[in-house]
Structure 1
Amino acid sequence: MYSLQIQPAMENSLSFLITGGCGYFGFRLASSLHKKGAKVTLFDTAPPTHEVPESIVFVQGDVRDYAQVEKAVTGVDCVFHIASYGMSGREQLNQQLIEAVNVQGTQNVLKACIEHGVSRLVYTSTFNVVFGGQVIENGDESLPYLPLHLHPDHYSRTKSLAEMAVLKANGTALISSSGVLRTCALRPAGIYGPGEQRHLPRIVSYIERGIFRFVYGKPSSLVEFVHVDNLVSAHELAAEALTVEKHHRSAGQAYFISDGRPVNNFEFFRPLVEGLGYPFPKLRLPVSLIYFVAFLTEMIHHLIGPFYNFQPLLTRTEVYKTGVTHYFSMNKAKADLGYEPQEHNLDEVVQWFRSRGHGKKPHSSFISRLFLDSLFIVAFVAVVLSFLPVVGS
């Protein structure tokens, strides 16, 4: 695997700040940099849940607060801006917080870097800046941003705005020192790996509660994933490619990052389902039906969310991301960064869950089965009614 190739003596002089550094990916990146001898500071709203080496500094703060960001970036050589909000589940429905973290938070990070002489910034973006439910096969970085009004969710829209701001800031003169700010953006696929806490536990909970009883979309639909260690490698390489030694090769550029192996979303998770002792669903439903159910769920959440902030089974964006073909070429990342994704599978993920007591249970929840059956009935009735003529028309 390609990695950050810097001599230890030089590495010791470098200092990295990771916003969102206590999350799954951020902490994994911090651990990798630390092993290479770098000075690492974690900036996050909550302390890390893992044991942190004494030489890694944790600073509790919020990217929405400029004073806190300004203090954290002081004396830093490179910032990895990972912090974001609203990627999945009910978080996607909190538009105000999404806007504040993803847009205003990124503006704060950029301003602090410029005012305090930080010369490099690597931004963690998303596939979603170009994808909004349309089929994309082997797309590359020449694809235009999806028009903002076409994004089906606020997270994707705000990540687009943030990425645009980051790339536009490339070449901006630094105020407190000579030189300019060099920036780049990485657009990762869905992240997986042992211990991932955002998506995989939710999927496993659906499996164990008997909710995962169907798949949807065409069997030929393809999406992509990226193992956390491949994503770590890509970020390290991108940061290195911003240096003068690498001729600022990645400056002002965006890169799609994945394992480079397009796969049907549900087939990707088959080893997890069967590895935990559950049968893989045989029922296949159309994307349009599941999208409609997701729409109804979001409307219900909008009405009762202020009183009961329940977790939607799926959001509309999640339906598109899992049921509609979209995958991208890694050629630019390989050419500019030297990125070479290593092959991984879900075996280590299955082992991680099994080691924590997950696996086939004797009986699935009656309430879960009743909830899902009721959901199907409501969706079916709604679809039927939508085809009936309107009285008086």
Structure 2
Amino acid sequence: MEAGRAHTFLITGGCGYVGYRLACSLRQKGTKVVLFDTVPPNQELPEDIVFVQGDIREYAHVEKAITGVDCVLHLASYGMSGREQLNRHLIEAVNVQGTQNVLKACIELGVSRLVYTSTFNVVFGGQEIKNGDEGLPYLPLHLHPDHYSRTKSLAEMAVLKANGAALEGGSGVLRTCALRPAGIYGPGEQRHLPRIVGYIEKGIFRFVYGDPSSLVEFVHVDNLVSAHELAAEALTSEKQHRSAGQAYFISDGRPVNNFEFFRPLVEGLGYPFPKLRLPISLIYFFAFLTEMVHNLIGPFYNFQPLLTRTEVYKTGVTHYFSMAKAKVELGYEPQEHNLDEVVQWFRSRGHGKNPHSSSLGRLLLDILLVSAFVAVALSFLPFVGS
């Protein structure tokens, strides 16, 4: 890289929630930023941030976007939650082939740094993990309960394996690292929180499940943005390439029960927190049946499952990780956040309990939910004694 030339960062999936937030943070630090995504951002872009529209599955599009950049922050992925988790073909194409396209373009175009946004799920598949670290092995691919987690594992393996690959033209080597974030939250998050608020407002959030002592983790978007910036910096010669070839767990560093984490959101919007607690095995089986139904009618009616099996495990089974490696090698220091700003964000957009909501509607919904769970429970009976 030429001395004195400003760094240019490309963010794949750059128009998503984290990508856009990351772009704005980098811009404030004087970095040139290019966003690559299939659709433009739904927020107005500052004039000095460049948007390149394209599909990560198409190498020519990736090649065009990466030309002239110094560092790639690869956030683009598909299939993280809900019905997206059931679209196997698209998940494979985006997460695996898309990542191969990014790696190929980096090597051919002389890009020396690549930070990959991975997931806790590369090591987690429903087993209990307490204060795990990066020494944990990848979960065997055939044990992943969903295509997203399996393909993210394949992609992370490919990215880390590419560390040290010679760049074409004799311009050095590619240095790579991977971040494994927890569940992401923050004001304006558009993937998980609106779905949760929708369940709350429709009266579906009437129960919790699993052991009340189970613990999971979350990461505020600003902490995740900071981790990306630190990881990219740690790939430079000035930092002795200390993050090269490494993976890092990234969270707020505060394990918490999944449902207790969301209590301030539920109550902040004016709704009572559920008192009914159901066994996780029952919810898992309900999710399994829902997925089977989706496989049958999804091609005709692509409905949103209440929960998928993976979501049941991720929310109801203890799994949390040490931040020690990220703190020592990246200088990562997560700042403390809570859901107050999230509650205010939703309230400012007209969300919150309607005191005139229909008691008859709530009664009918309760009857429907109870009937559904009775049906699921009865479905176990033919297997007894078999």
Matched, 1:106 2:99: yes
Compared CA separation, residues 233 and 385, structure 1 to 2 (3 A): closer
Give runs of aligned pairs for residues 190-229 of structure 1, distance below 5 A: 190-229=183-222
**Unmatched 5+ residue regions in structure 2?**
none
Tell me what 1:94 maps to. 87
Distance (whole Å) between structure 2 residues aligned to residue 11 and residue 255 of structure 1: 30
Contact 1:11–1:36 (CA under 8 A) maintained in structure 2? no
Tell me what 1:355 maps to. 348
Distance (whole Å) between structure 2 residues aligned to residue 252 and residue 26 of structure 1: 22
Match among 14, 24, 49 for residue 56 of structure 1:
49
Which secondary structure does the structure 2 equivalent of 1:318 belong to?
A: helix
Distance (whole Å) between structure 2 residues aligned to residue 105 and residue 68 of structure 1: 11
Distance (whole Å) between structure 2 residues aligned to residue 113 and residue 177 of structure 1: 13
Q: Deviations over 1:153-197 (max 9, x none)?
A: 000000000000000000000013420000000000000000000
Q: Deviations over 1:297-317 (max 9, x none)?
A: 111111111111111000000
Tell me what 1:279 maps to. 272
Tell me what 1:383 maps to. 377
Tell me what 1:187 maps to. 180
Amino acid at match of 2:151: T
Compared CA separation, residues 364 and 172, structure 1 to 2 (3 A): farther
Tell me what 2:312 maps to. 319
Contact 1:126–1:186 (CA under 8 A) maintained in structure 2? yes
Which secondary structure does the structure 2 equivalent of 1:159 belong to?
A: helix
Q: Deviations over 1:126-159 (max 9, x none)?
A: 0000000000000000000000000000000000
Number of equivalences: 384
Tell me what 2:245 maps to. 252
Compared CA separation, residues 103 and 43, structure 1 to 2 (3 A): same
Q: Deviations over 1:181-235 (max 9, x none)?
A: 0000000000000000000000000000000000011110000000000000000
Tell me what 2:139 maps to. 146
Q: Give the percent of matched residue pairs that are identical in Structure 1 and Structure 2.
A: 81
Distance (whole Å) between structure 2 residues aligned to residue 74 and residue 86 of structure 1: 28
User: Following TM superposition, by how much is the alpha carbon of 1:389 offset from its aligned partner in structure 2, in angstroms?
Assistant: 6.3
Which secondary structure does the structure 2 equivalent of 1:53 belong to?
A: coil
Distance (whole Å) between structure 1 residues aligned to residue 171 and residue 75 of structure 2: 26
Compared CA separation, residues 10 and 198, structure 1 to 2 (3 A): farther
Which moves more between the two structures, 367-376 or 184-193? 367-376
Match among 331, 336, 344 for residue 343 of structure 1:
336
Compared CA separation, residues 254 and 353, structure 1 to 2 (3 A): same
Match among 130, 144, 157 for residue 150 of structure 2:
157
Which secondary structure does the structure 2 equivalent of 1:207 belong to?
A: helix
Which secondary structure does the structure 1 equivalent of 2:36 belong to?
A: strand
Compared CA separation, residues 281 and 38, structure 1 to 2 (3 A): same
Matched, 1:40 2:33: yes
Query: What TM-score do the two structures reach when normalised by structure 2?
Result: 0.96
Distance (whole Å) between structure 1 residues aligned to residue 149 and residue 351 of structure 2: 32
User: Following TM superposition, by how much is the alpha carbon of 1:363 offset from its aligned partner in structure 2, in angstroms?
Assistant: 1.3
Match among 10, 13, 18 for residue 20 of structure 1:
13
Match among 282, 306, 314 for residue 299 of structure 2:
306
Contact 2:269–2:351 (CA under 8 A) maintained in structure 1? yes
Which secondary structure does the structure 2 equivalent of 1:165 belong to?
A: helix
Amino acid at match of 2:299: P
User: Following TM superposition, by how much is the alpha carbon of 1:364 offset from its aligned partner in structure 2, in angstroms?
Assistant: 5.4
Compared CA separation, residues 11 and 17, structure 1 to 2 (3 A): farther
Match among 55, 59, 62 for residue 66 of structure 1:
59
Q: Deviations over 1:322-371 (max 9, x none)?
A: 00000000000001000000000000000000000000012158667646
User: Following TM superposition, by how much is the alpha carbon of 1:385 offset from its aligned partner in structure 2, in angstroms?
Assistant: 4.0
Match among 324, 331, 349 for residue 331 of structure 1:
324
Which secondary structure does the structure 1 equivalent of 2:194 belong to?
A: helix
Amino acid at match of 1:387: L
Amino acid at match of 1:384: L
Tell me what 1:294 maps to. 287
Amino acid at match of 1:119: S
Compared CA separation, residues 211 and 364, structure 1 to 2 (3 A): farther
Match among 76, 82, 85 for residue 78 of structure 2:
85
Query: What TM-score do the two structures reach when normalised by structure 1?
Result: 0.94
Amino acid at match of 1:211: I
Contact 2:215–2:318 (CA under 8 A) maintained in structure 1? yes
Distance (whole Å) between structure 2 residues aligned to residue 135 and residue 84 of structure 1: 26
**Unmatched 5+ residue regions in structure 1?**
1-8
Distance (whole Å) between structure 1 residues aligned to residue 364 and residue 3 of structure 2: 61
Contact 2:203–2:365 (CA under 8 A) maintained in structure 1? no
Compared CA separation, residues 180 and 97, structure 1 to 2 (3 A): same
Contact 1:12–1:39 (CA under 8 A) maintained in structure 2? no
Tell me what 2:235 maps to. 242
Calculate the aligned-residue CA RMSD, in Å: 1.8
Distance (whole Å) between structure 2 residues aligned to residue 163 and residue 365 of structure 1: 49
Q: Deviations over 1:98-132 (max 9, x none)?
A: 00000000000000000000000000000000000
Distance (whole Å) between structure 2 residues aligned to residue 359 and residue 172 of structure 1: 52
Contact 1:11–1:37 (CA under 8 A) maintained in structure 2? no
